[in-house]
Amino acid sequence: VQDCWVMHPGESWHGFKDIPDNWSMLDPLKVSILAPGMGEDGELEETGVPAALVTAWLGRHGIVPTRTTDFQIMFLFSMGVTRGKWGTLVNTLCSFKRHYDANTPLAQVMPELVEQYPDTYANMGIHDLGDTMFAWLKENNPGARLN
């Protein structure tokens, strides 16, 4: 039954070129993207980009991560994921960075948020929102409540 998961070097369906013959992978590929903001010691840095904001951006573009924590976004990719799907993810992340760095107004990049809560978000850019979210994380430390 596992014959369908056996990988041989050079087969295009799995995308791995330099593997031993008859090598088998049973789990999906887990890919984690770490958003800036948490140091290697687990302490919050001075500034950061909450992963929830990146996840909201990805969701607006049809990309749904498997899991999001304060500063991590995890994806499960099955074998044979095309370069096109990877490319879509990378392009969408680059688009987020461009808009975040430019502090593009939320009315342009997340209009439904502004429509739903105009008093809060009408005059805010996406970087401003990230800063507000990061300040909340820093002040409230929700991760500590999980331990």
Whether 125 is in a domain gets the answer yes
Whether 97 is in a domain gets the answer no
Contact of 142 with 70, CB cutoff 8 Å: yes
**Are 16 and 78 contained in the same domain?**
yes
Q: In this structure, what CATH number is given to the domain that contains residue 31?
A: 3.90.1150.10
Contact of 113 with 105, CB cutoff 8 Å: no
pLDDT score for 123: 97
**Are 66 and 135 contained in the same domain?**
no
pLDDT score for 11: 77
pLDDT tens per residue across all 147 residues of the chain: 466 667 778 777 667 778 887 766 545 577 889 999 998 888 899 999 999 999 999 999 999 999 999 999 998 877 666 667 778 899 999 999 999 999 999 999 999 999 999 999 999 999 999 999 999 999 988 777 665
- C-alpha R_g of the chain: 19
- H helical segments located in the chain: 51-60, 83-102, 106-109, 111-116, 118-121, 126-140
Task: List the domain range (segments joined by +) for residue 114.
Answer: 103-142
**Are 12 and 80 contained in the same domain?**
yes
**Are 57 and 123 contained in the same domain?**
no
**Are 78 and 28 contained in the same domain?**
yes
pTM comes to: 0.76
